[in-house]
């Protein structure tokens, strides 16, 4: 029996998922922009959204970050930060051609997938990349070895797969997918390609898996699950799907507390609350305050994992921070 099931069914309650919110890769990426602004001064250019969250982007813009879509929008010789989702090698070449000072804030877990792609391509494998078409992370990974990589967008994409040699095929994946859907895609691929190899270690990141796992734990007890996150955040969108699949009566994605529709709460006794991996906890606290005003004052935190992983800042930035500290020294 879970803690959730032993809570008396009086009053209105909130089951608060933990872990939720910032993962190590997002924390590092946001910190990279903040430290760069302090060290080099504004403006600092960031290619694409540093992480997929409206509030984070607005906050950094207010501090002097300028978000651009492509390197061409960055003045020659300026500093540009690449987002946590990773970029294709050609993006580095473009930056070099414009004499940009590039700082790479790619999440190390995404970098790992890039390295796998390069290694398997060098060994002449066909690489089946499970992911969502058009997602920045998929574009970056595919750019490592475009001639070897084909995208498989979920289980329904399996039928379109063709390979040169069924003995030399490996699957990799975007780090922010639904664990269950990815495993379903892999199972279908293996029916078609029995000798399909798996990545050396799981590509779906620990934070994505952990956040989905705790949502599965609470979902069946919830009349509605509110996920705090942005619509372009793959892992946040997945959390809503996971909640409904795991038995929640309804699931909704909101960026901010004021986006919650009162109608969602009309007959609810138990509300689940969680947030995507690029969401600062202050936004979750605002949702809890909103719910408390409507009678949901009994908050129980359900914990399924404790995350202690941290990543150090990008090498380029660390070097400059060290040099600046020595100069002051």
Judge whether 252 is annotated as a binding position: no
Helix (H) or strand (E) holding 148: none
Smallest CA-to-CA distance from 48 within 162, 160, 158, 140 is with: 140
Query: For the range 118-125, what are the long-range contacts, defined as Cβ-Cβ under 8 Å and sequence gap of 24 or more?
Result: 118/144, 118/145, 120/145, 120/148, 120/170, 120/172, 121/145, 121/147, 121/148, 121/149, 123/168, 124/148, 124/168, 125/168, 125/169, 125/170, 125/197
Smallest CA-to-CA distance from 260 within 294, 308, 232 is with: 294
Judge whether 132 is annotated as a binding position: no
Judge whether 85 is annotated as a binding position: yes
Q: How many angstroms separate the CA atoms of 19 and 155, rounded?
A: 28
Asked whether the beta carbons of 207 and 191 are under 8 A apart, the reply is no
Of the listed 35, 116, 136, 137, which one is catalytic?
137
Judge whether 2 is annotated as a binding position: no
Judge whether 222 is annotated as a binding position: no
Judge whether 173 is annotated as a binding position: no
Transcribe 208-254 into DSSP letters: HHHHHHHHHHHHTT-SEEEEE--TT-HHHHHHHHHHHHTT-S-EEEE
Mark whether 73 is an active-site residue: no
Judge whether 235 is annotated as a binding position: yes
Judge whether 205 is annotated as a binding position: yes
Q: How many angstroms separate the CA atoms of 130 and 221, rounded?
A: 31
Binding residues for [4Fe-4S] cluster: 23, 107, 205
Annotation: binding site for isopentenyl diphosphate: 52, 85, 135, 233-235, 278
The residues that are catalytic are 137
Q: Which amino acids are annotated as binding site, given as ranges?
A: 23, 52, 85, 107, 135, 175, 205, 233-235, 278
Q: Which residues contribute to the annotated binding site for dimethylallyl diphosphate? A: 52, 85, 135, 233-235, 278
């Amino acid at each position: 029996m879970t803690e959730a099931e032993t809570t008396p069914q009086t009053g209105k309650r909130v089951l608060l998922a933990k872990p939720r919110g910032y993962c190590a890769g997002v924390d590092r990426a946001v910190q990279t922009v903040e430290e760069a602004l302090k060290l080099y001064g504004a403006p600092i250019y960031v290619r694409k959204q540093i992480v997929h969250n409206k509030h984070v982007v607005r906050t950094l813009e207010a501090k002097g970050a300028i978000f651009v879509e492509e390197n061409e929008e960055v003045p020659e010789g300026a500093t540009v930060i690449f987002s946590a989702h990773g970029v294709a090698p050609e993006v580095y070449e473009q930056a070099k051609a414009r004499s940009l000072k590039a700082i790479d804030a790619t999440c190390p877990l995404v970098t790992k997938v890039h390295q796998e792609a390069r290694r398997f391509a060098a060994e002449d494998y066909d690489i089946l990349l499970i992911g969502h078409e058009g997602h920045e992370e998929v574009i970056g990974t595919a750019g490592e070895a475009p001639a070897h990589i084909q995208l498989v967008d979920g289980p329904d994409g399996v039928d379109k797969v063709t390979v040169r040699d069924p003995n030399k095929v490996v699957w990799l994946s975007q780090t922010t997918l639904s664990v269950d859907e990815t495993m379903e895609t892999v199972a279908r691929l293996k029916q078609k390609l029995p000798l399909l190899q798996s990545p050396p270690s799981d590509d779906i990141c620990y934070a994505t898996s952990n956040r989905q796992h705790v949502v599965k734990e609470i979902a069946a007890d919830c009349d509605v699950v509110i996920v705090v996150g942005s619509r372009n955040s793959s892992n946040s969108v997945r959390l809503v799907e996971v909640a409904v699949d795991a038995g929640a009566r309804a699931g909704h994605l909101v960026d901010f507390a004021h986006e919650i529709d009162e109608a969602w709460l009309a007959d609810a006794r138990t509300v689940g609350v969680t947030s995507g991996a690029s969401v600062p906890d202050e936004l979750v606290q605002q949702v809890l305050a909103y719910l408390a005003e409507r009678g949901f004052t009994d908050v129980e935190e359900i914990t399924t994992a404790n995350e202690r992983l941290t990543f150090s800042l990008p090498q380029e930035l660390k070097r400059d921070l060290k040099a600046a500290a020595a100069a002051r020294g």
